[in-house]
Amino acid sequence: MAGFFQKFKGAGSGTSKSDNTFAKNKKDEPQQDLTPVEKLLHNAGPIREDGSDKFFGLENFGNTCYCNSIVQALYHSEHFRTNVVNYPPPSPWDDPNSVKRKVNVTIRPPPQANGNAAGSGKPGQPPKPRQSFSGGQLAPSVGPTRPEDKPDSPEYKKKQAMIRGPVLELAQESTDPYGMEECTFTGLKDIFTALIDSQSRTGVLSPQRFLDIFKRNNEMFRNSMHQDAHEFYGIVLNDVIANVEANGKRMQELAESRRKDDPSQPAETLSKSDSTAATRAPGTGWVHDIFEGVLTSETRCLTCETASQRDETFLDLSIDLEEHSSVTSCLQQFSAEEMLCERNKFHCDHCGGLQEAEKRMKVKKLPKVLALHLKRFKYTEDYSRLQKLFHRVVYPYHLRLFNTTDDAEDPDRMYELYAVVVHIGGNAYHGHYVAVIKTKDRGWLLFDDEMVEPVDKSFVQNFFGDKPGMACAYVLFYQETTFEKVREELDAEGVDQMKMANPFPADLATSAELVNGTSPAPLSKLNTQPLPPVDENETLVGLEHVKSAPTELDVTSPIDALPPPLSSYEAHPLVAAPPPPSAVMTKADEAATVPPKSKEEIAREKKEQKAREKAEEKARKAAEKEQARVAAKKLQEAAQKIRETARLEREQLQKAIQESKQMAADEEKRNKKEATSGERPASSEGSGANGFLNRAGRTSKSMTRKSFAFLHIGQHNNSTSKEEDQGDSKADKTDRSEASDNRSDRGESSATEGNPSRDNDQPPPRQNGISSAKRNPSFTLPVRPPPRSDTAPGSVEQLRQDKQHKEKEKEKPPLKERFSFALGRKKSSRFLSPLS
Amino acid sequence: MFVLPPPPRYPSQQGYNGMPAGQPVPMIETNNVLTNPAGPEYQFLVGEGLYVLKEDLHLATPPPHPSEAPVVNPNPLATAPQPATTGTRLSLINLDVSPLSPAFYRTTSRSDGAQASIQEHVEEGQSSSDVRESSSDAGRLNSSEAQLVTSNAPAFGEGNSLLAPTSQKDAHKRRKPKNNMAKSSSSFVSRVINHEALSKRLQERPRDGLFAFANVNRAFQWLDLSSQMKAEYLTKILFTKAHCLCHDVNKVTKSSTHIDVIMGFSTGEIIWWEPITQRYTRLNKNGIVNGTPVSEIRWIPGSENLFLAAHMDGTLVVYDKEKEDAIFTPEDEGTFRTNGETGGTSSVNYSSQIHVHKSVHSKNQKTNPVAVWKLCNHRINAFAFSPDNRHLAVVSEDGTLRIIDYLKEELLDLFYAYYGGLTCVCWSPDGKYVVTGGQDDLISIWCPSEQPPNTALIARGQGHHSWVTSVAFDPWRCDDRNYRFGSVGEDRRICLWDFSVGMLHRPRAASVRQRGSISSRPGFVPLQRADTSATAGTSGSGRLRSDSSLSAAGAVDGEKEKVLPHPVEPRATTATLPPVLSKIVDDDPLCWLGFTSDAMLTSCKTGHIRTWNRPTELTPQLEEKIDS
């Protein structure tokens, strides 16, 4: 048991040293050269088209792990990946010869890296060496002084990953392959496409371009400081939504303009415009379909007993943590009844004025992907900074929501945990993020920047928060599944284990020294079982038999029991060989119990043992071969299946497009009537940024929603929110009530509840302002507190501190806001997105 | 591009296995501490009165073994699996004749209890009190007879003559384990410390006093809870590296000169320990039978020698404490091996049967294991024997509850948790209900004898704020209609639950039927058989009957209906039970809960054993209830 895994691990650390300076220390088998991930994939069959077999690390450019972990989690959401890659659907006037796939190839491997993953491993110079990477220098030649020189350290593994390559880098100047302007979405799409198109299953991808684009649009990330992964996640999603919508809009306008240009061919244009509209109708809603859920907040006025309901959309839930609780319980708390009183009084329409009220929030529509943000960063007055909560919060592999409304569809929906973004560090300003992700059929993997490593299933539950090392789960991604799938999977886990377990005992037997080894086992790979520590000095134990056991030896000695099973191994070479007694132990036993043991006997035993070992070795190899064959076959079948489903999906998509074309045509007609006068000023400009202005009138408002939140941060109620904090330690609740609070501040009473049209009416002017402000940095800068924006990369720690000191007053509240961002966003969304 | 120097990525915050982060690793051997905290936070009010904390016994966490200093990996992302460990759990035993739990339920619905067994013994020429009281005589009881002591359900493995004779060699004395603990040179046992006045303490203690065995980290302690100096252990064993994860005391063989304790370890090994003579035997040495940690271990009810261990790979193994180990090859080559070869394309179906890798009826019984059953490939978290000694309820990490007829080695039923793994299980004293707790923070009450269209899931209890770790019925507060059980969880809470058949919103017909005698119930065949054989009375007929049923079972084996897993009940149609009490009673996650006649005991991850005295005065209604 021990041995196999050890080799496994050894392989992990010894990776890619094909020059063999290092491989000496490891067991010398050729496959040792593989990294654990490669080993995991070594019989993976043909490359898949859906990208579910790509396990790339992402390069870190200094504190960009927040981005890496989130991008990995997004990539490994099958829904999201598929949709990103398939959007926008090819438009009809694109050159039919330019296959979509081809257009998307914007990757170039660095000159040194060779494309062969299992490769010759000439240490390639990473194109963008990080500080810690000393170019292509070989580590082993240097003494193990630096962390990255120790083969077991993550630093070493990351470095090896870079050296091993291939390092994919996206072209600096992304052209216009998707018919979209360069934006967060295209950046993300580039990454995804590059990974899917890669001929290697492993390697490192440099997300620099994506980050550049992202930072261009979000200036508070424009520094090299530690950032909040959850915040990043929220903004990326909102950006993607905005980009997609803007594009849909643009396509529509483009179609219109084309039609105008081409009055001579009414029939054709009509069909063309159909399809353009189609790109929007089926296309733009997909992000919402995946991540968006609906919360119903029910407020009951304690004065007049009137209950009012209001629906709000959310992209994730930020939940407060209690000590020694579970995610289930925290979610229940999230939906627990809450009193709106004192400063948070509720404006009741019925009896008029601010009243005390009871409020509770329940989930009405369950999202496909449920992102749970554990609020581990808490703003505390006495420390005047964000403290990290190390509460033990347990999270199960599967989840159902208890806090659903009575009319929710499928309230017992089963979710499975598929990704955990882990924050390591003592506070919100420092630390590291990694992602632990469940892959489609390769178990759980740890994505730590450049490094990718398969991990035991139980590893996932190492981040409850109470373990040493300050590593805590920070964002949990649950995706929808069904009970049947879960059962199937759990059973399959078992089968895999059996397969792995079978060759395993033999392995143990052949390498006797491994009995005493550190012993992680492949068996436990998918298992939840922790590893049994093995007694080191077993040999001594035999002595104890001297006193009491000798007479029994002939009857029950394990040695006597040996031959029969042994022969059965030979008869069934493919069968799992159970572990023969550890040679050391039995010998010692005998030596102790039957001192006058003849030499021949010992020799015979040795021989026997050798023979046994041989037989087992043989059996093991045969079994391995067989398994490899079977696995390959299975994979092929699976791939076939996937292709099949992909085809089906395509067909369905086509159908959907057809349908929507029809719908769009109708709409188009209507629009035409209204819009002929050029009702929307932006329509002629057609760019994403300007198209933005029109968003107020559109259905999905997430982006504006976000911008609203930004406004909130930047100019509005720095002081208010702080006060609120003092009043209510439960940040979440504060946030929630804030929404209503703000509303009342502005005289927007809750009369708007259940009246989306009115919701729409009120905020638009404001939204538009912010939206454009946000898109136009020069406009934005004065709005936002400066410190974040101009912390230039070159600034020194001290400078930063200075600034922080200076800006303390301004800085803190926004920070606090930042971490309760999702809810703020969620709340404000109410104004903006009438439910579809 | 200038980059800020990264902060120390993995701050070295040491962690000692079993200790929560932040607590200092003990460097020297310390003593147990007994405290008596008082105040409103150390008491709680339930319907029957006020439970008050009597004392808090904190078991000292031992320092790491010098040669086995814990490998502290500062990297929290280290992928090497950690060795298994667990919080403190207790095994309680008193040497008195009177059983640990009250007898009232035995005469009501459980008809195969103590009375029947006493009758049997009269007929067989040995009184049960002989067995329990006179240690010198006790040895005369051979194992096959001893198996009949507490139940007239057929003894486990009865009919296999190979099982009986092994222990008949020395009929004069109860056999002790082979090795002297104190003088052992084993590297497995690091140190054994006896109390200086051990023998005196043993002599002077009240006969009905409660012994407790408790694990904490790598230590295992034998405590006398009836003693004034209970903080001072009678014996403390320190193991070198292995952690004892579970333990049990044999209720059949206990006497003032002999106590059989069995311990399961994180290394998969098992130690049979006899505390009074301080001798031990090590089983499954080096994991020769099964190398995965033992998560739960129990003596098979009524058996002197046989015990059941749950290994973390989903295997249940029956061992004989006196047999040598041998390498184990599954005997049912048919199912197991073909699966291995075809790589899982043929179905390894764990949902319709258990895979008997070695049957108790196997002809090869010279060595351990006696029987091996593979249930699933996931960790088995707990199991419990039914009070009628015929069934086994097993819960595992994959969220399944299995009801097994362990005498026939058959899976009877399979239920699923709402979500997440199931962590603990227990039977109601009358054997009608099974209660489980799990990672869905829920308590689930099952009635395995319910037939469709009624669901076996009676109710779900919502009251914990985190995973449930232990459930136990309070037999002193149960009668044939009303049940009281408690649960503890990672949320540090204890929850007490009351339910009665009428209280839960069941269809009227079903509840009426449940109230009636089970023997008149046509539904659940195995349970019914238990009843009838129990009422049959004499052991002779009981045995005959069971033999015939066993052989009959063998005959119909091929055509027996497939066990159909039960679908998960949606929340909307399931009764929800609120706790009658939910209170945080410790500073660390709780691991274990037990009831005695005068107290409730809880233990936690870091070794606090808290004794909560029951309300002193009983209300009239309660007395009435108990009397009736």
Q: What confidence tens digit (pLDDT) does each residue in A37-46 have?
A: 777 776 667 7
Query: What is the reported pLDDT for A523?
Result: 35
Pairing of strands A393-394, A398-399: unpaired
Place of tokens 């089983």: B283
- Single-letter code of the amino acid located at A652: Q
CA torsion angle A474 A480 A482 A487 (round to 10): -30
Cα B210 to Cα A159, B27, B268, distances in angstroms: 60, 31, 29
Burial A49-80 (b: 16+ CB within 10 A, else e): ebbbbbbbbbbbbbbbbbbbbbbbbbbbbbbb
| ipTM of the complex, rounded to two decimals | 0.80
Q: What are phi and psi of B545, to 5 degrees?
A: -60, -45
The answer to whether the CB atoms of A793 and B292 lie below 8 A apart is no
Structure tokens that stand for A224 in this block: 């090299």
The answer to whether the CB atoms of B378 and A523 lie below 8 A apart is no
**End-to-end Cα spacing for chain A:** 55
Instruction: Give the 3-state secondary structure of residue B560.
Output: coil
Q: How far apart are CA B284 and CA B306, in angstroms?
A: 14
Q: How far apart are CA A546 and CA B207, in angstroms?
A: 37
Instruction: Give the 3-state secondary structure of residue A433.
Output: strand
Give which of B203, B195, B143, B131 is closest to B168, Cα–Cα.
B143
Chain B residues whose CB is inside 8 A of the A532 CB are 83-84, 266-268, 287, 291-293
- Section B179-190 average pLDDT: 84
Chain A residues whose CB is inside 8 A of the B166 CB are none
pLDDT in tens, B339-360: 333 333 344 677 777 888 888 8
Q: What is the mean pLDDT of chain B?
A: 75
pLDDT in tens, B217-261: 889 999 998 888 888 999 999 998 889 999 999 988 888 889 999
A428 band by pLDDT with thresholds 50, 70 and 90: confident
- The answer, for B66 touching chain A at a CB cutoff of 8 Å, is no
Chain A residues whose CB is inside 8 A of the B341 CB are 574-575, 623, 626
DSSP label at residue A335: T
The answer to whether the CB atoms of A400 and B491 lie below 8 A apart is no
Query: What is the reported pLDDT for B348?
Result: 60
Give which of A39, A40, A12, A1 is closest to A442, Cα–Cα.
A40
Cα A413 to Cα A360, A393, A475, distances in angstroms: 21, 22, 20
pLDDT in tens, A44-81: 677 777 777 788 888 888 788 889 999 999 999 888 98
| For residue A269, pLDDT beyond 60 | no
Pairing of strands B391-396, B400-405: antiparallel
Nearest Cα of chain B lies from the Cα of A540 at a distance, in angstroms, of 6
Q: How far apart are CA B61 and CA B55, in angstroms?
A: 18
pLDDT in tens, A199-217: 788 888 888 888 888 888 8
Query: Which helix or strand (DSSP H or E) is residue A417 part of?
Result: strand A414-424
Q: Which of A65, A301, A330, A472 is catalytic?
A: A65
| For residue B320, pLDDT beyond 50 | yes
Query: What is the reported pLDDT for B273?
Result: 93
Chain A residues whose CB is inside 8 A of the B286 CB are 515, 534-535, 538, 581-582, 585
Which residues sit opposite A434 in a β-bridge?
A422
Q: Is A330 assigned a catalytic role?
A: no
**End-to-end Cα spacing for chain B:** 84
Chain A residues whose CB is inside 8 A of the B81 CB are 456, 458-459, 520, 524, 529-531
Pairing of strands A338-340, A357-365: antiparallel
pLDDT in tens, A484-503: 888 888 877 765 544 443 33
- Section A430-458 average pLDDT: 88
- Section B364-392 average pLDDT: 89
Chain centre distance of CA B588: 22
What's the pTM? 0.68
Pairing of strands A55-58, A202-206: parallel
Query: What is the reported pLDDT for A317?
Result: 92
Give which of A379, A380, A455, A387 is closest to A425, Cα–Cα.
A387
Count Cβ–Cβ pairs < 8 Å, chain A vs chain B: 327
The full length of chain B comes to 628
A263 band by pLDDT with thresholds 50, 70 and 90: low
- The answer, for B398 touching chain A at a CB cutoff of 8 Å, is yes
Sign of CA dihedral B113, B115, B119, B124: positive
Sign of CA dihedral B225, B227, B229, B235: negative
Structure tokens that stand for A231 in this block: 């915040």
Around A301, how many Cα atoms within 13 Å sit in the side-chain half-sphere? 17
Q: What are phi and psi of B275, to 5 degrees?
A: -65, -30
Which residues sit opposite A776 in a β-bridge?
none
- The answer, for B350 touching chain A at a CB cutoff of 8 Å, is yes
The answer to whether the CB atoms of A534 and B267 lie below 8 A apart is yes
Pairing of strands B33-35, B49-58: antiparallel
Q: How far apart are CA B282 and CA B319, in angstroms?
A: 12
CA nearest A489 in B: which residue? Answer: B398
Chain B residues whose CB is inside 8 A of the A392 CB are 490, 589
A597 band by pLDDT with thresholds 50, 70 and 90: very low
**A434, A541, A565: residue with CB nearest B77:** A434
- Of A160-169, A637-646, A791-800, B395-404, highest mean pLDDT: B395-404
Q: How far apart are CA A27 and CA A14, in angstroms?
A: 10
- Opening angle at CA A459, ends A455 and A463, nearest 5: 135
Query: What is the reported pLDDT for A396?
Result: 94
pLDDT in tens, A374-390: 998 887 766 667 788 88
Chain A residues whose CB is inside 8 A of the B2 CB are 224, 793-794
- The answer, for B282 touching chain A at a CB cutoff of 8 Å, is yes
- The answer, for B459 touching chain A at a CB cutoff of 8 Å, is no
pLDDT in tens, B575-626: 889 999 999 999 999 999 999 988 999 999 999 999 999 987 655 555 555 5
Contact B590, B424 (CB under 8 A): no
The answer to whether the CB atoms of B185 and A392 lie below 8 A apart is no
Read out DSSP for B430-490? TSS-EEEEETTSEEEEE-TT--TTS-SEEEEEE--SS-EEEEEE-GGG--SSEEEEEEEET
Q: How far apart are CA B499 and CA B481, in angstroms?
A: 8
- Single-letter code of the amino acid located at A147: P
Integer-rounded Cα radius of gyration of chain B: 24
Chain A residues whose CB is inside 8 A of the B283 CB are none
Around A710, how many Cα atoms within 13 Å sit in the side-chain half-sphere? 30
Hey, how many other C-beta atoms are within 10 angstroms of the C-beta on A670?
Answer: 10
B369: preceding bond cis by omega (within 30 degrees)? yes
Place of tokens 């001297």: A546
A283 band by pLDDT with thresholds 50, 70 and 90: low
Q: Which of A226, A288, A432, A712 is catalytic?
A: A432
A617 band by pLDDT with thresholds 50, 70 and 90: low
Burial A482-503 (b: 16+ CB within 10 A, else e): ebeebbebbbebbbbbbbbbbb
**A328, A456, A533: residue with CB nearest B241:** A533
Q: What percent of chain A stands above pLDDT 70?
A: 44
Query: What is the reported pLDDT for B564?
Result: 73
Q: Is A805 assigned a catalytic role?
A: no
Query: What is the reported pLDDT for A458?
Result: 86
Q: Which of residues 117-176 of B touch A (CB under 8 A)?
A: none
Query: What is the reported pLDDT for A175?
Result: 53
- The answer, for B329 touching chain A at a CB cutoff of 8 Å, is yes
**A494, A536, A556: residue with CB nearest B366:** A556
Instruction: Give the 3-state secondary structure of residue B281.
Output: strand
Q: How far apart are CA B602 and CA B599, in angstroms?
A: 10
Contact B174, B379 (CB under 8 A): no
Query: What is the reported pLDDT for B619?
Result: 55
Contact A820, A732 (CB under 8 A): yes
- The answer, for B342 touching chain A at a CB cutoff of 8 Å, is yes
**A399, A491, A540: residue with CB nearest B187:** A540
